[in-house]
Structure 1
Amino acid sequence: MTHALPAALDAELSSLLGADGWRTDAAARRAHGEDDSRQWALPDAVAVPRDPGQVVAIVRACRAHRVPLVARGAGTGTAAAAVPFAGGVVVSFARMDRILDIRPGDRCAVVEPGVLNGDLQQALQPHGLFWPPDPSSAERCTIGGNLACNAGGPRAVKYGATRDNVLGLVAVTGAGELIRCGGPWTKDATGYDLTHLIVGSEGTLALVVEATLRLAPRPQAQAGLRMFYRDAAAAAAAVSRLMRQPQVPAMLEFMDASAIALLRRNGTEVPEAGAMLLVEADGDHETLPYALQALADAAAGEGLLSLDVAADGAARDRLWAARRALSPALRSIAPGKINEDVVVPVSRIPDLVAAMEALSAESALPIVVFGHAGNGNLHVNIMYRPDDAGENARAHAALPRLFECVLALEGTLSGEHGIGVAKRDWMARAFDAPTLAAMRAVKSALDPDGILNPGKVLPPL
């Protein structure tokens, strides 16, 4: 459903942005109406600004006419946060894609939101630096999108997610005001921390037009371990031991028994086991062997079946091949997938896995669990055939059971995908009324007319 734009707004933004920056044709609107959630809705127009001044003008014009605005990067999100369900204007940052400054001495980079994560990593290589967030879509997702949903990835266990790696922002609020928060420093006790408030807000508080990112030194060397355990409880106990000792793993990934069985059925050479952990250490050439030994010692214990070491690049590639093969292998089970990125305390991982095994049996559907064990951030994949009415109904009935389980285990709804609309209605279960009221007050302060990404994140009153 679309809504006719006010003629005055159409004329104003057409004059401001030109024919290539103000698109109302059907093709452009359709191309900017969906993301990887597989949901879609047509916007009334697409604005493609070139600079922060144009973003300010777009927001002010839309506010004057009470027209909704939805910010968009590359559309790789899975929670429908970039889908313009209320129509209005999609603001694409495709032309604001410049790396403005790389400051090795300050270990930071200043970028526009349309820069691709992968392009930034390439630009940082000659400086011996990298930006830690590494979502699976890193080659095609934008920094702005990473900021919107607080993207993570396997490296988050050591280096943190996006919010931990942003030093400052320039953003345009829903009132059309350009605000600056944070900067090229790592310590700050000056006023409210608006930077980290805006990161993860999914475009509901402000439109980011510039970000100062914290960079990390690129490690000289990496090595990996692969461990198989009798069951998920033994693997979770090993995760706790790994995270208690001083050597923080660079990556720590978990696969449950169903994931291992899936790999075996698809030709990957892994033994039968109840759970698997993949661990990576990084550092310099001199200290890496000691770090690897410390991780191996922590991994050893009750329930360990076997442990493999991969010290060189080729061996590491073979070790991680199973993890890379897992997502494509899921399609061999069924064409439909509900993938939720829930988080539970590390000690409750066995409870979550056991609950998902029971839910799988009860719903007569395959459920595969794997993910970032060091953070307790697991991807629960409910597999089904969309063209089978019974499976479709059972899969979508299983989803609230998953969320109920996660909240009962003192967990949270999303570790890196965000809320969007996919999990919006569960926010009232995840937070009490006073906490949600505080969130709504923040939203009202920064977006007084509610034009920024309406209907996302916060449930309706």
Structure 2
Amino acid sequence: MLPAAFTARLTRLLDRERFLTSAADCMAYAYDNSRKLGVPEAVAFPYTTEEVRAIVAACHDHGVALTPRGRGTGTAGGSVPENGGLVLSLERMHRILAVDPANRIMVVEPGVLNQQVQDAARVHGFFWPPDPSSAAYCTVGGNLATCAAGPHAVKYGVTRDHVLALTAVTGKGEIIHTGTYTTKGVVGYDLTRLIVGSEGTLAVITEAVLKLTPLPEAVAGVTAHFRDLTACARAITRIMAQPHVPSALEFLDAGALNLIRAHYPGLVPADTHAMLMIEVDGSASEIQTAQAAILAACADPELIQAQPVADTVSLWAARKALSPLLRDIAPKKINEDVAVPVSFLPEFLAGVVALAREHRVANVNFGHAGNGNIHVNLLVNPDDEAELARAMTCLDRIFELVIRLRGTLSGEHGVGREKRPYVGREIDPVTLGVMREVKRVFDPKGILNPGKIFPTEEDIAVTAGGKRHA
């Protein structure tokens, strides 16, 4: 139960419609796209940085857990209020504060949707490169919290690469300003890049200066169809080894292609068992050169066909529909977004298929192959305890494989609560200790998004295994 003095303090700060305490109202903020549940005792909706400061200060003073939240599209449970307390919903801080084309900058509040940023930037001939599949629904604040990416990260990088400065509130209720309004700036520590990706455990972001990128002159693509997975994986490594970097390089395995065939008849040949969707951008001459180089890199005895594509709209529609379609064939999916070095993709993909077969678990794989970032989906019936146990053992072995191949357990979804038990496999105890100390500086009472990122002693004991790669 929340302290009475805390409730009274927030009641004075916020009107009735912006401070909810009824169980029915709070339930809507108890879960995210991970489908996990943690019911808060209250929900607050600030309008300004000063209101955020006052709310965080109250939580600090009274020891109330605070979970920042955007639109709840995350899949790792990062916005689930595991410890109850207060959910700080930033959805009403949704103003675009400035668009500055001369300096290629946009200043936004955290509740602005990714798609709203794209629409506002496009008017001036720019775009913001982070483009997760949930762009129409996810907020910039959520993108910043998880350092989200998307298919175009292979050429343009992730969210952290496109943020110049932040205004944020620490766990002590203090407002800080990080970064610069310029693309160069080396005064002091780079707290901007530290906070981006910290999943709301260090500070609550209330304003962000985004770095915009000019829209390319033209966009085109290449599709490549292969008879088997191994040939497709080999082609990925050849494509990324040549000098013409694609703006997107998406991989789909046989399971993913079967889903697309069912919903988009005629889009994919029947004998295709692995496919690449490749996008290139730039000037017209650059596109022609890049397409030719990529087509040459796709050459393989197991290649069915590879051809240029002028219009990639329908292909992207099919690709973005994949995650929702997976729930049509299994009531539960264990969705992991691991990443390995591109040169290890053939070994990794073969290993995942072998492990899924060994543990008798349905498996669909697709993702951003240009970054080695593969969405591994294990499809299980949660009511079948034996199947669920096999799936968790399979997942454990997949994580071992990722670490052995010098990879990472999360490329873009974040750690949240879902990957927390496994963090100790990737990060050694000394380094984790340094991170915990950083957390204490920003948030000495541990009120900000507690239960996220850092493994507990129980987690470490249960998942004891591989060591971090050299």
TM-score category (smaller protein): over 0.9
The residue number in structure 2 matching 1:298 is 297
- Give 1:38's match in structure 2, choosing from 5, 12, 35: 35
| C-alpha deviation, 1:301, in angstroms | 4.4
The residue number in structure 1 matching 2:329 is 333
Instruction: Evaluate the alpha carbon distance shift between residue 91 and residue 229 of structure 1 in structure 2; reply closer, same or farther with a 3 A threshold.
Output: same
The residue number in structure 2 matching 1:427 is 423
Task: Return 181-190 or 288-297, whichever deviates more.
Answer: 288-297
Contact 2:227 2:271 in 1 (8 A): no
The within-5 A match list for 1:254-333 is: 254-264=251-261, 267=265, 268-301=267-300, 303-311=302-310, 313=311, 316-320=312-316, 322-333=318-329
The residue number in structure 2 matching 1:99 is 96
The residue number in structure 1 matching 2:465 is none
- Give 1:232's match in structure 2, choosing from 213, 218, 229: 229
Partners of 1:144 and 1:429 in 2: how far apart? 28
Task: Return 39-48 or 239-248, whichever deviates more.
Answer: 239-248
Instruction: Evaluate the alpha carbon distance shift between residue 264 and residue 98 of structure 1 in structure 2; reply closer, same or farther with a 3 A threshold.
Output: closer
**Which residue identity is paired with 1:157?**
V
Matching of residue 180 in structure 1 with residue 177 in structure 2: yes
- Give 1:56's match in structure 2, choosing from 53, 58, 61: 53
Partners of 2:401 and 2:163 in 1: how far apart? 32
The residue number in structure 2 matching 1:166 is 163
The residue number in structure 2 matching 1:411 is 407
| C-alpha deviation, 1:369, in angstroms | 1.1
**Which residue identity is paired with 1:389?**
E
Partners of 2:99 and 2:302 in 1: how far apart? 47
Contact 2:101 2:124 in 1 (8 A): yes
Partners of 2:322 and 2:67 in 1: how far apart? 33
Query: For 2:425, what is the secondary structure of its paired residue?
Result: helix
The within-5 A match list for 1:194-213 is: 194-213=191-210
**Which residue identity is paired with 1:252?**
L
1:274-303 deviations in Å (ceiling 9; x for gaps): 422110011133432223223223333454
| C-alpha deviation, 1:351, in angstroms | 1.6
Partners of 1:94 and 1:348 in 2: how far apart? 40
Partners of 2:121 and 2:257 in 1: how far apart? 36
The residue number in structure 1 matching 2:154 is 157
| C-alpha deviation, 1:132, in angstroms | 0.8
Partners of 2:255 and 2:163 in 1: how far apart? 37
Partners of 1:321 and 1:40 in 2: how far apart? 30
Partners of 1:224 and 1:198 in 2: how far apart? 35
Task: Return 226-235 or 13-22, whichever deviates more.
Answer: 226-235
Aligned residues: 455
1:246-279 deviations in Å (ceiling 9; x for gaps): 3211100112233334544664532424422110
| C-alpha deviation, 1:183, in angstroms | 2.1
The residue number in structure 2 matching 1:67 is 64
Instruction: Evaluate the alpha carbon distance shift between residue 319 and residue 112 of structure 1 in structure 2; reply closer, same or farther with a 3 A threshold.
Output: closer
Partners of 1:171 and 1:450 in 2: how far apart? 16
| C-alpha deviation, 1:211, in angstroms | 0.4
Contact 2:30 2:80 in 1 (8 A): yes
Contact 1:42 1:87 in 2 (8 A): yes
1:376-433 deviations in Å (ceiling 9; x for gaps): 0000010122233332332233222221221122111101110011010111111111
Partners of 1:415 and 1:177 in 2: how far apart? 31
| C-alpha deviation, 1:324, in angstroms | 3.9
Partners of 1:330 and 1:66 in 2: how far apart? 41
Contact 2:234 2:346 in 1 (8 A): no
Instruction: Evaluate the alpha carbon distance shift between residue 329 and residue 86 of structure 1 in structure 2; reply closer, same or farther with a 3 A threshold.
Output: closer
Matching of residue 7 in structure 1 with residue 4 in structure 2: yes
- Give 2:432's match in structure 1, choosing from 421, 426, 436: 436
Partners of 2:440 and 2:315 in 1: how far apart? 49
Instruction: Evaluate the alpha carbon distance shift between residue 162 and residue 6 of structure 1 in structure 2; reply closer, same or farther with a 3 A threshold.
Output: same
- Give 2:346's match in structure 1, choosing from 331, 342, 350: 350
The residue number in structure 2 matching 1:385 is 381
Task: Return 216-225 or 284-293, whichever deviates more.
Answer: 284-293
Matching of residue 17 in structure 1 with residue 17 in structure 2: no
Query: For 1:197, what is the secondary structure of its paired residue?
Result: helix
Matching of residue 400 in structure 1 with residue 396 in structure 2: yes
| C-alpha deviation, 1:322, in angstroms | 4.5
The residue number in structure 2 matching 1:137 is 134
Query: For 1:248, what is the secondary structure of its paired residue?
Result: coil
The residue number in structure 1 matching 2:468 is none
**Which residue identity is paired with 1:107?**
R
Partners of 1:139 and 1:254 in 2: how far apart? 22
Gapped runs of 5+ residues in structure 1? none
1:161-184 deviations in Å (ceiling 9; x for gaps): 111111111110111111111122
**Which residue identity is paired with 1:298?**
A
The within-5 A match list for 1:450-461 is: 450-461=446-457
Contact 2:249 2:369 in 1 (8 A): yes
| C-alpha deviation, 1:321, in angstroms | 5.1
Contact 2:230 2:350 in 1 (8 A): no
1:32-72 deviations in Å (ceiling 9; x for gaps): 11100101111111111110011111111111111111100
| C-alpha deviation, 1:363, in angstroms | 2.0
Partners of 1:275 and 1:377 in 2: how far apart? 16
Partners of 1:24 and 1:452 in 2: how far apart? 19
| C-alpha deviation, 1:79, in angstroms | 0.8
Partners of 2:75 and 2:325 in 1: how far apart? 19
The residue number in structure 2 matching 1:109 is 106
Partners of 1:309 and 1:224 in 2: how far apart? 6
Contact 1:310 1:319 in 2 (8 A): no
Using structure 1 for the length normalisation, give the TM-score. Answer: 0.94
Query: For 2:123, what is the secondary structure of its paired residue?
Result: helix
**Which residue identity is paired with 1:293?**
A
Matching of residue 147 in structure 1 with residue 144 in structure 2: yes
Instruction: Evaluate the alpha carbon distance shift between residue 94 and residue 264 of structure 1 in structure 2; reply closer, same or farther with a 3 A threshold.
Output: closer
| C-alpha deviation, 1:328, in angstroms | 4.3
| C-alpha deviation, 1:318, in angstroms | 4.0
| C-alpha deviation, 1:21, in angstroms | 1.6
**Which residue identity is paired with 1:130?**
F
Partners of 2:261 and 2:48 in 1: how far apart? 51
1:134-174 deviations in Å (ceiling 9; x for gaps): 11110000000000011111011111111111111111011
Contact 2:133 2:320 in 1 (8 A): no
